[in-house]
Amino acid sequence: MNCEVAHERIVAAAYGELPDEQAHELERHVTGCPECQEDREQLLALKVLASAYPVVEPDANLVARSRLRLEEALDALPPKRWYERLSQRMTNNFASLQAAPVGVCLLLVVGAGMGSLGGYEIAQRHAARAAQAVQVAQAAVTRQEAQAGPAEIANISSIVRQPNSQMVEVRYNQVTPQRIQGSLNDPAIRQLLMLASENSASAGVRDDSVGLLAAECRDGHGCQGAGIRDALMVALRYDKNEGVREKALKGLEPYVGEDVRVRDAVLEALLNDSDARIRTAAINILEPVEADTSVRQVLHSVANTDQNPHIRNVSRQVLSRVPEIQ
Amino acid sequence: MNGQKSAEERMQARAPEMELIREAQAGSRTAFDALVRQYEQQVLRLALHLTGSEHDAEDIYQEAFLKAFRYIGNFRFECSFYTWIYRIVTNLCLDQLRRRKTRREDRAVVLDRSGDEIDLLASVPDGRSFSNPAKELDRKVLGERIQEALTKLTPRERMVFELKHYQGLRLRTIGEMLNTTEETAKNTLFRATKKLRAQLAGLR
């Protein structure tokens, strides 16, 4: 045995990892080799020195803190969809049956089915939207077409010069301003208001439309089927003007208890809205669902991380007001 | 809440680990929580000693068990659950160590949650040194020197030394956890001790 090998084996031996026959051989070498004896002593010294940085037991507070944080995170995970649970169960079972290829094929079939179902739903939604747009256009035509303003040219679609002549054919599209009058119950009016809430470049117009739609919701004038609630949620999430967002929030208030999507939209506003007034209003609106785990999760986060001290306070108050539900 | 606690305890007492794992795989949160309780102390102990920071240890705990929750369906009983969990933890720790290397953060002392230093040596019972303040200071300095020397190792060397010297695992287990062979782990240990001895040469 040469010293290089011996040095490696000394380390192994010091940690109880040297097979017995090699240990015996090593011992014989070291006994006759001062250099290797020195090496072994240094290694033992290192082991002693290393204990100057001992392993400590994590204290009970650290364990409790960590566990609590984990439980909250696990509580906040969305429940698995039925197809996720099914595919997981299939993966578990099929793996143990060594029938992976079959499982994969079945999963592919299920997955393809899910994919097309999802696509079908999206296509349906688009179709519904297109149908609505067509309806609005028709309604506009059948109503007063008073005072159509001077037509603006929107774009030029083609220019064709006829051969051997000075004649040119130009195709262009025109924008014709229209006007429509009707009551708030009129579905056509409502649809236009919803379009206005998303599409108008003018904050004033968006503000008016959202205000009207919100008033409809608060008065309970049947605002679910026609997608008004959706329009308000979109306005709350995306509108750049805080007045508009505030009106949208007020309109959604009656539905925070019964509609999970509304609740989640309000929670998002509480977490992400840049305006403190809106975040405060959101906390108040969440009162009927204070005890929900996801609401509490968000309130915890807000109580710790919101920039505004008043909001942090209010969150803490709400949390302490409602007992924890396990 | 009380009823739920005793259900957990009963579950822990009765069910051998394999049952717990199967139930957790089937979606039982109670079973998963019981598994967490079985391993959380070790996970924290390792992460705490490796990173030297309660805050980092907590983060590693969180990530490790969330990952375990997410991927427990993939556990095929081909290794022990202990090895499986430790594999997750050591990988997260390695990521941490690598991040530190690139940030060149030198943690010479152990920090608690509020950023204050913990005097580790104060918790180590030693009849000799307590009466001698100068010697106590020496030990503190020594502890810092050790930690500093440890940061000079590569993340893998640091990990192998930690698992072998401080946590007392067998090289074969260490190889499994780090997805390598026992031989490679042995060589890594050898390199680690060589480097450490060079670092601490003046400290006899």
Q: Give yes or no for residue A130 having a pLDDT over 60.
A: no
A11 and chain B in contact, CB less than 8 A: yes
B111-156 pLDDT per residue, tens:
555 555 554 444 444 444 344 555 556 777 888 889 999 999 999 9
Rounded to an integer, what distance in angstroms lies between the CA atom of residue B33 and that of residue B40?
Answer: 10
DSSP summary character for residue A299: H
Q: Is A205 on the interface with B (CB under 8 A)?
A: no
- In chain B the first and final C-alpha atoms are separated, in Å, by 56
Any idea of the CA torsion for A214, A216, A222, A223, to the nearest 10 degrees? -20
Closest CA to A216 of A159, A254, A172: A254
- The tokens describing A308, both together, are 């505004």
Average pLDDT over residues A107-130: 55
Interatomic CA distance for residues A187 and A196, integer angstroms: 14
User: What distance in Å separates the CA atoms of residue A205 and residue A54, rounded to the nearest whole number?
Assistant: 68
Neighbours of B32 (CB within 10 A): 20
- Whether A98 and chain B come into contact, CB under 8 Å, resolves to no
Instruction: Give the C-alpha separation, B108 to A112, whole Å.
Output: 55
CA distance A35 to B158: 27
**H or E, element range at A99:** none
Domain boundaries, chain A: 3-43, 182-255, 257-326
Residue type at B199 in one-letter notation? Q
As a whole number of angstroms, the distance between CA A299 and CA A324 comes to 13
b/e A266-281 (16+ beta carbons within 10 angstroms → b): bbebbeebeeeebbbb
Q: CB pairs below 8 Å between A and B: how many?
A: 111
> Look-up: residue for tokens 């999507």?
A261
Which long-range CB contacts under 8 A does B168-174 form with residues at least 24 apart?
A: B170/A17, B171/A15, B171/A17, B173/B83
Mutate to test the interface with B, among A38, A53, A63, A94 (most CBs of B within 10 A): A53
Q: Is the pLDDT of residue A119 over 60?
A: no
Chain A residues close to B65, C-beta within 8 Å: 70
Nearest-CB residue to B40 (from A46, A50, A67)? A67
Q: Of A274, A283, A292, whose CA–CA distance to A311 is shortest? A: A283
Put simply, the answer to whether A50 touches B29 (Cβ < 8 Å) is no
> Does residue B178 contact residue B156 with C-beta atoms inside 8 Å?
yes
Best of A7, A40, A46, A91 to disrupt the B interface (most B CBs within 10 Å) is A46
Q: Match 């999802």 to its residue by tokens.
A: A118
| Mean pLDDT of the residues in chain A | 78
Query: Would you state the pLDDT for residue A223?
Result: 66
What class is the B1-109 domain? mainly alpha
pLDDT at B128: 42
The count of other CB atoms within 10 Å of the CB of residue A227 is 17
Please state, in angstroms and rounded to a whole number, the distance separating the CA atoms of residues A56 and A62.
12
More confident residue, A292 or B113: A292
What is the spatial distance between Cα B111 and Cα A222, in angstroms, rounded to a whole number? Answer: 59
Nearest CA in chain A to B200: A46
Give the Cα separation of B51 and B60 in Å (integer).
10
Q: Going by C-beta distance under 8 Å and a sequence separation of 6 or more, which residues neighbour residue B32?
A: A74, B24, B68, B69, B72
Say whether pLDDT at A50 is over 50. yes
Helix ranges, chain A (H): 3-14, 20-31, 34-50, 60-76, 82-96, 100-142, 187-199, 203-218, 228-238, 242-252, 260-272, 276-285, 293-305, 309-321
CA dihedral B24, B28, B34, B35 (to 10 degrees): 20
Closest CA to B92 of B130, B63, B113: B63
Give the Cα-Cα-Cα angle A210, A215, A216 (nearest 5 degrees).
Answer: 100
Task: Rank A1-10, A106-115, A118-127, A316-325 by mean pLDDT and report only the highest.
Answer: A1-10
User: Position B9: which residue type?
Assistant: E
Q: Across the interface, which of A15, A77, A85 has its CB nearest the CB of B164?
A: A15
- Is residue A150 over pLDDT 90? no
pLDDT tens-place string over residues A196-206: 877 777 777 88
A13 neighbourhood in chain B, CB within 8 Å: none
A116-146 burial, b at 16+ Cβ within 10 Å, e below that, comes to eeeeeeeeeeeeeeeebeeebeebeeebeee
Q: What is the ipTM of this complex?
A: 0.77
The C-alpha angle B93, B96, B98, rounded to 5 degrees, equals 110
Residues of chain A positioned with their CB less than 8 A from the CB of B49: 53, 55-56
Confidence band of A261 (pLDDT split at 50, 70, 90) = confident
**Residue A175 in contact with residue A212, Cβ under 8 Å?**
no
pLDDT tens for chain B, 204 residues: list them. Answer: 455 556 666 655 555 888 889 999 988 999 999 999 999 999 999 999 999 999 999 999 999 999 999 999 889 888 889 999 999 999 999 998 988 877 654 444 455 555 555 544 444 444 443 445 555 567 778 888 899 999 999 999 999 999 999 999 999 999 999 999 999 999 999 999 999 998 887 654
Q: Determine whether the interchain pair A56/B48 forms a contact, defined as Cβ–Cβ distance below 8 Å.
A: yes
Q: Sorting pLDDT into bands at 50, 70 and 90, what band is A326?
A: very low
Token code pair at residue A156: 């030029």
